[in-house]
Amino acid sequence: MSALSLKDKRIIVTGASTGIGAAAAEIMGSLGAKVLVAARSEDKLKKVAESVTKAGGEGHYLAADMGKEDDILALVDKAKSLWGGVDGVFANAGISGLAAPIQDYPLEAYDEVMNVNLKSMFILIQRVLPGMIEQGSGSIVCTGSIASERGAPMTPAYVMSKHAIVGLVRAAASEVAKLNIRVNCLLPGVINTPLLEPLAEHVAGGDMDKTLEILDAMVPQRRIGKPEEAGWLAAFLLSDAAAYINAQSLAVDGGLLGIMRS
């Protein structure tokens, strides 16, 4: 048995400027991957790309807004011009969006969440599949959430988008599994990233330390997760070690989904 490796795999990671995406990109670099990282902030991306190279891979970056179709197309074009093809995609960019009940939820906020979280993944998958089909291999990992499997109040567009990502993953896998292409969904539980910051207001009146304490206590393992703990699953799913895992939703959540009521 060889150790986990992504040697020379050509991988796009979106939402890679912070949190899970940045951690995953660095892990992929340490496993020998060539990684093109994307998000909106060029400064942050440059640093992440450098950390990929420092870890032992080859880091590249492109500032791209996943809410804009042209930016997504430019991202795939950049990967093709760098490498001639793509072996893996970690479609991870996501926003929690506005917090409001359904009856007050503005449609502009709904559209923004759906575009960034869901439509971006659809477009990305549309654009990378032809090359993967031609080369006869590929692995795609989309970031869902425990909100892909359970409801949650005040973030209807987020919960809807994350449920739909599971549908997208299953639909895509049902078409391309026979072509040696795998499409899976990673479901992070509560992970300590900037995405949690807006939560502090609702959970503990803006007190982040108190918020983290409350969140820790909710989890069976009695702590929230680290970005790299989700990043390792993404790296594994993109590797040949996961060659027979397809159309799955896998949680990294310290046991949370196992005890959550629907």
Binding site for ligand NAD (CB under 6 A): 15-21, 39-40, 65-67, 92-95, 116, 143, 145, 188, 190-191, 193-196, 227
Kindly provide the residue ranges of all beta strands, DSSP E only, lying in the chain, ordered along the sequence: 10-14, 34-39, 58-63, 88-91, 138-143, 181-188, 249-252
Cα–Cα distance for residue pair 175/125, rounded to 1 Å: 12
Between residues 124 and 181, which has the closer beta carbon with respect to ligand NAD?
Answer: 124
Question: CB 101: neighbour CB atoms within 10 A?
Answer: 10
Between residues 84 and 153, which has the closer beta carbon with respect to ligand NAD?
Answer: 153
Between residues 27 and 116, which has the closer beta carbon with respect to ligand NAD?
Answer: 116
Query: Least distance in Å: CB of 26 to ligand NAD?
Result: 13
Query: Least distance in Å: CB of 96 to ligand NAD?
Result: 7
**In the annotation, is 244 catalytic?**
no
Cα–Cα distance for residue pair 67/201, rounded to 1 Å: 26
Between residues 33 and 39, which has the closer beta carbon with respect to ligand NAD?
Answer: 39
> Residue holding tokens 């990233």?
193
70 sits in which H/E element = helix 69-83
Query: Least distance in Å: CB of 213 to ligand NAD?
Result: 16
CA dihedral of residues 148, 120, 125, 167 (deg, nearest 10): 30
Closest CA to 49 of 95, 82, 1: 82
Strand ordering across the sheet containing 138-143: 58-63, 34-39, 10-14, 88-91, 138-143, 181-188, 249-252
Q: Out of 61, 105, 110, 158, which one is annotated catalytic?
A: 158
Instruction: Give the Cα-Cα-Cα angle 186, 192, 196 (nearest 5 degrees).
Output: 95
Question: CB 185: neighbour CB atoms within 10 A?
Answer: 28
Between residues 134 and 197, which has the closer beta carbon with respect to ligand NAD?
Answer: 197
List residues with catalytic annotation. Answer: 158
